[in-house]
Amino acid sequence: MEKNTLLTDDLLRENRELRLEVERLQKERIDLGHLSGIIADRKRNEQVFKRINEDLLSLSHSFEDNVNLLTRLCGELTGAACTLYNRLEDGLLVSVGQWNTPPDFCSISKPEGHVCFDVINKGSNQLIVINDLPQTPYAISDPNISAYKLVTYLGKAVLCDGEYVGSICALFQNHHSLTLEHEQIFTIIASALGNEESRRSAEKNLRESEELFRSAFLTSPDSININRLSDGMYFDINEGFTKLTDYTREDVIGKTSLELSIWDNPEDRNKLVKGLQVNGYVDNLEAVFRIKGGGTKTALMSARVFSIRGVPHILSVTRDMTERQQTMQALKENEQKFRSVVENAFDGIYLISGHRFVFYNQRFCEIMGYSAEEIASEWFNFAITLTDKSRDLIEQRRQARINGEEIPGIYEFEIRTKSGELKEVEVSTVKLDSDDQVTVLGIMRDVTERKVLFEELIKAKDKAEEVNILKSRLLANLSHEIRTPLNGILGFAELLREDIQDDSLKSMAEIIYTSGYRLLHTLNSILDLSVIESQFNTMKLKTVSLNKLADEVSTLFKPNIIKKGIKLSIVTKQEEILVKADEELITKILNNLINNALKFTNKGEISVTTSIESKDSMNFGCITIKDTGIGIKKEYLEIIFDEFRQVSEGQSRSYDGSGLGLHISKRFAEMMQGTITVLSTPGSGSAFTLWLPLK
């Protein structure tokens, strides 16, 4: 507004100069009529500029009111049909100032094709005059020209802070000539509008700045308080202050920190006061503060001196350091624990950056055979401990890493200690993030003794396997020599029990036969197991009908089953079930399973069922032998397939047997890519199922 007043004063000064000109013309005896016209123009100018000065002095704090006042002033002084102040807002042309516009005038429109938009974009300080508007391209793009019969356009761009933001224009419904007075009026009003735009922008920026400060003040997790510099009285606090000290706004506003006794150590307050007096600010002052209700907290404070309405105040920002101190203490304790663990570790632990060891424990020195001072020296390098073989290995790993290949994180190589001793070490490394060079954390273990023991174990294992195979081969080779006399004994025992009439002798023959048969069965099981372990067994694979084989084997047991008073049922769920397997092995499996069912079942039924079942997305031919015998407890289901294991074991066991039948049966099934499963309920019976892949 002050600037507008100065402009008006300049124009009044110009009028005084014109009066001097009039006096000079009078002296030169100019035509009195012409002189009278000049005097009339000067009087009009005085009235115009007086009006401008009055309106400028009446401007308020309202941007909208001032813009409309200046727009109206332009229209009334120029005699226009209407006047507008257009500005660009969010990509649109908006008439924020209007005078004498029709009721149906639209104040918002797209800017392209409007004269004011071009005036703003041109950014000229000149007053733009366009006559015969209906004959210009603007008549096509701006419907207002024809709608309101506009003929002449006078407009000037408004400059704000170095940028053209709007345009003040006067529109006429007739031809209108440009005059010096028009130029002066538009210059003053455009300047005044520019001042309003600048003031509005400054106020907007100030509001945003205040809102930003207020938002930061209110939402900051740190404690923020404002105190008057002269006496330290609290002016304002945020929620962070309350969280730190438990003091609310009502507790502190109008009081000083001394009244609240908030400083635990007065010397800390003296440091703050001295820093503010000398420098106007204090940074990172660590102090202890008393909280409401007792107790203290350690915090870090920074403060600045600033003014509120010309009164010096202190802005303090304080961060609670209590938790941080507790964390630092915990970290320190953890570091001590970590260092203790590292120093007492069985493995060597080291940190290498570039080619220098920046950390290592005592165990690492012991493995390497060098002292801590030697490893820390500049001449020490990991490479001097490597053998040629180890260098080749590490170079291969380095090349693989360069090529982007995956390399194991744990590897073994050989080192040579300071004394010349060769050691096998196992190393695990991980690359750490580092700004300047590669840093690697490594864990080294001396595995020299372990390697020796491992090699000895391998030799012992190979020897044991060799002995086991020799044992199995021996048993397999002796099978004929053992079976032949045993079969002779069984044959004669059977003849004796049939021909002898004496009951006591007949009983003895029966015992000889039964014991011999039991011995033969046990011998066959042991020999079968020996054949499996000696890997001599060669399967004879062929297409086998499970329905036919199950019926044949079951029929062999039918007399003994009927003799025991048990029912035998054979069920076939599919017409034909074919598998590719060893028929002899299947027969042995079925003999074992049916014999077990007969042995452990005293009443009820034994059923043999063939079916096709699915498991793990595969189809299997299955034979299930189900009985109504004594059943098996759940805890024994895990061991019954182990060799020499039975549900009842020891000399007091209720049923005879070697504990090899189920183990051998399952091994035979696995040799044919199958298996045996069991379901059992104590007192209700068991169901064993042989699974073999379909042909």
Q: What integer pLDDT is reported at residue 463 of this predicted model?
A: 85
Q: What domains does the chain contain, in order, with CATH numbers?
A: 59-204 (3.30.450.40), 220-325 (3.30.450.20), 356-443 (3.30.450.20), 452-530 (1.10.287), 539-693 (3.30.565.10)
Among 365-374, 495-504, 655-664, the range of highest mean pLDDT = 365-374
Q: Contact at 8 Å (CB) between 127 and 74?
A: no
Exposure class string for 10-39: b at 16+ Cβ within 10 A, else e: ebeeeeeeeeeeeeeeeeeeeeeeeeeeee
> Bigger pLDDT: 8 or 210?
210
pTM of the model: 0.40
- CA dist 356 and 348 (Å) reads 16
Asked whether residue 5 carries a pLDDT value surpassing 70, the answer given is no
Q: Contact at 8 Å (CB) between 315 and 214?
A: no
Q: Residue 54: which residues within 8 A CB-CB, separation 6 or more?
A: none
3-state secondary structure of 423: strand
> What is the CA 571 to chain-centroid distance, rounded?
59
Sign of torsion over alpha carbons 165, 168, 174, 179? negative
Q: How many CB atoms lie within 10 A of CB 429?
A: 16
Looking at the chain, the number of H-run helices and the number of E-run strands are: 20, 23
Q: What integer pLDDT is reported at residue 439 of this predicted model?
A: 81
Asked whether residue 509 carries a pLDDT value surpassing 90, the answer given is no
Exposure class string for 629-660: b at 16+ Cβ within 10 A, else e: bbbbeeeeeeebbeeeebbeeeeeeeeebbbb
Among 406-420, 592-606, 627-641, the range of highest mean pLDDT = 592-606
pLDDT band at 651, cuts 50/70/90? very low
Q: What is the mean predicted confidence (pLDDT) over 264-275?
A: 92
Closest C-alpha to 186, from 129, 138, 108, 144:
129
HSE toward the beta carbon, residue 663, CA cutoff 13 A? 18
- CA dist 145 and 40 (Å) reads 35
Segment 25-84, tens digit of pLDDT? 445 444 444 444 445 556 667 788 888 888 888 888 899 999 999 999 999 999 999 999
Q: Residue 676: which residues within 8 A CB-CB, separation 6 or more?
A: 589, 593, 641, 662, 665, 666, 669, 688, 689, 690, 691
Q: What integer pLDDT is reported at residue 478 of this predicted model?
A: 62
Q: Contact at 8 Å (CB) between 532 and 480?
A: no
| Long-range Cβ contacts of 62-66 (<8 Å, 24+ apart) | 63/196, 63/199, 63/200, 64/96, 66/196
Q: Contact at 8 Å (CB) between 424 and 448?
A: yes
Among 1-5, 407-411, 582-586, the range of highest mean pLDDT = 582-586
pLDDT band at 23, cuts 50/70/90? low
Q: Contact at 8 Å (CB) between 66 and 60?
A: yes
Amino acid at 490: L
Asked whether residue 297 carries a pLDDT value surpassing 70, the answer given is yes
> What is the CA 556 to chain-centroid distance, rounded?
69
3-state secondary structure of 293: coil
Q: What is the mean predicted confidence (pLDDT) over 88-105?
A: 91
Q: What is the mean predicted confidence (pLDDT) over 336-343?
A: 78
Segment 613-635, tens digit of pLDDT? 998 888 999 999 999 999 988 88
Segment 173-231, tens digit of pLDDT? 998 888 888 888 999 999 999 999 999 888 888 888 878 878 878 878 889 999 999 99
3-state secondary structure of 160: strand
Asked whether residue 692 carries a pLDDT value surpassing 50, the answer given is yes
Check residue 578 and give left, alpha or beta (phi > 0: left; psi -120 to 50: alpha).
beta
Asked whether residue 258 carries a pLDDT value surpassing 60, the answer given is yes
- CA dist 157 and 165 (Å) reads 8
Q: What is the mean predicted confidence (pLDDT) over 377-391?
A: 85
- CA dist 124 and 120 (Å) reads 8
